[in-house]
């Protein structure tokens, strides 16, 4: 007969807990991204969806692309509206 303890018996408790923590973190992140894009009160406003999903877009623009937040906001304002 199949049981969870026999299936997980070959893994250490630390490994099982580490996998559960990673899966929980991944799941929470995905749910948060979906909530921010589709169900957040500000989701009706135009703009890049990647920027709406998390703050990583802003960090990427500032750190890797070398743009200041002032210039990013000006460009978005020109592109998406008044």
Residues 3 and 37 in one domain: yes
Please give the residue range of the domain that contains residue 77.
47-82
Spans of the chain below 50 pLDDT:
none
Residues 61 and 40 in one domain: no
Residue-level pLDDT at 10: 81
Q: Which of 26, 54, 58 is nearest to 40 (CA)?
A: 54
Residues 59 and 23 in one domain: no
Residue-level pLDDT at 81: 82
Global pTM reads 0.70
Residue-level pLDDT at 41: 93
Residues 8 and 38 in one domain: yes
* C-alpha to C-alpha distance for 14 and 34, rounded to whole angstroms: 30
Residues 29 and 61 in one domain: no
């Amino acid at each position: 007969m199949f049981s969870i303890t026999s299936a997980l018996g070959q893994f250490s408790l630390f490994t099982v807990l580490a996998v559960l923590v990673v899966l929980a973190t991944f799941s929470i992140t995905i749910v948060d991204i979906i909530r921010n894009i589709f169900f957040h009160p500000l989701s009706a406003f135009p703009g890049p969806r990647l920027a709406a999903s998390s703050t990583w877009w802003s960090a990427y623009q500032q750190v890797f692309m070398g743009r200041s937040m002032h210039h990013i906001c000006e460009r978005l304002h020109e592109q998406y509206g008044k």
